[in-house]
Structure 1
Amino acid sequence: MTRCDWAENANELMTRYHDYEWGVPTTDERETFELMTLEMMQAGLSWQTVLNKRANFKVAFADFDVTKVARFDDNDVVRLLNDAGIIRNRLKIKDTIHNARQLGKWHAAGKTMNAYLWAFVDGQPIVNRYLSMVEVPAQTPLSQQISKALKKAGFKFVGPTIVQSWLEALGILDDHLATCTVNHLSK
């Protein structure tokens, strides 16, 4: 079995993420919020760091229940800043709570993040088969468009590079290398 370069010779968490999540389409709203948050937290750090702390993030952020996170207050921000098991960046934490509140407003209006994002690609993942990791772009016109739209809709910490990674994580973009032979169709 051959994997994408970044998952070859990786630890078990990274290999599992590559084999069963990355590039696999999801429409689960909780998972979408989780991956949005994790991609925000990853900015400036390695994905391995985020995966190592993922279980702690799930506990700290109420299993990424949007309704619960939207109710977090200043005491929760302090609690999270003191939680050594997560990435303790005040801006990232506050923007996660802000985004949960924005998403909660969408849900109250009958909108979902999944329907919103998948509409940009007519409900079909974009499958790219790059030959090497150097060909995989950090951002694309699609991630730039979605980033701009999300910012306009009031979301924070959703720049085009974060959105690009998030779209890959959600399977909206399938950027597995052409040489990757892992079956990515189920979690």
Structure 2
Amino acid sequence: MDKSAATTGPDGLDRTPWGNGNALMSAYYDSEWGVPVTSETGLFERLSLEAFQSGLSWSTILRKRPAFREAFAGFDPDAVAAFGDADVERLMTDAEIVRNRRKVDATITNARATLALREQEGLPALIWSFRPERTPVPLRLDQVPSTSEESVALSKELKRRGFAFVGPTTMFALMEAIGMVDTHLVGSHRRGVSGLWNPDGSRAASPVF
């Protein structure tokens, strides 16, 4: 069997291989990954978690997500933007999350940058303005890119707006997670779940803000 093509899980459903990794990953794959996210809080949370994931496995972040939500006030940008030195020290002693000082500082920085964007187009409109005209139509994992022209451009623009830990690879992972691109393998039962893409990879519907 070609392990890089869609695989069948114990429940008989075909998924991108990582979606059959364990029960936690399967649940995330089946209910969240690739579903459009357009709220400010939802996007700030996913932006933050993708940054914390850098260099780690996504399953590690998923296991720690409840603790992250508690530690970062439900990823409310207003609350996180107000974090000070005492909060940083509290986070750096919290063994339930990823204790990386640069990533903690970046999350607070990004909350403040998110608030600043309210005076302009706002975080959701900014991120979704980089949605490409077409999405990949991969049959195998080796056909799924790790960056794109749009993720590079989004990375540059977010950095220009004061965000940190938003490299092109991290931004492409964000785009996959929120349905801006659909990289579910052809054959997966979740292919097309966002409702935003036609089978040939062209745009269908637009996200609702």
TM-score (norm 2): 0.83
Q: What is the deviation of 1:155?
A: 0.7
Tell me if structure 2 keeps the 8 A contact 1:72–1:97. Answer: yes
In structure 2, runs of 5+ residues without a counterpart are 1-12, 196-209
Match of 2:24 in 1: 13
* Matches for 1:99-138 after TM superposition, within 5 Å: 99-107=110-118, 109-121=119-131, 126-138=134-146
* Matches for 1:21-170 after TM superposition, within 5 Å: 21-107=32-118, 109-121=119-131, 126-170=134-178
The CA RMSD over aligned residues, in Å, is 1.6
Q: What is the deviation of 1:148?
A: 0.8
In structure 1, runs of 5+ residues without a counterpart are none
Mapped partners of 2:116, 2:160: distance in 1: 15
Identical counterparts, % of pairs:
42
Q: What is the deviation of 1:185?
A: 4.7
Q: What is the deviation of 1:134?
A: 1.5
Tell me if structure 1 keeps the 8 A contact 2:88–2:104. Answer: yes
Mapped partners of 1:156, 1:145: distance in 2: 14
Q: Which has the higher helix share?
A: 1
Please say which of residues 127-136 and 49-58 is displaced more in the overlay: 127-136
Q: Tell me the number of residue pairs that the alignment of Structure 1 and Structure 2 aligns.
A: 182
Aligned-partner residue type, residue 40 of structure 1: A
Q: Greater Rg, structure 1 or structure 2?
A: 2
Secondary structure of the 1:145 match is helix
TM-score (norm 1): 0.92
Tell me if structure 1 keeps the 8 A contact 2:15–2:187. Answer: yes
Tell me if structure 1 keeps the 8 A contact 2:78–2:111. Answer: yes
Match of 1:171 in 2: 179
Match of 2:200 in 1: none
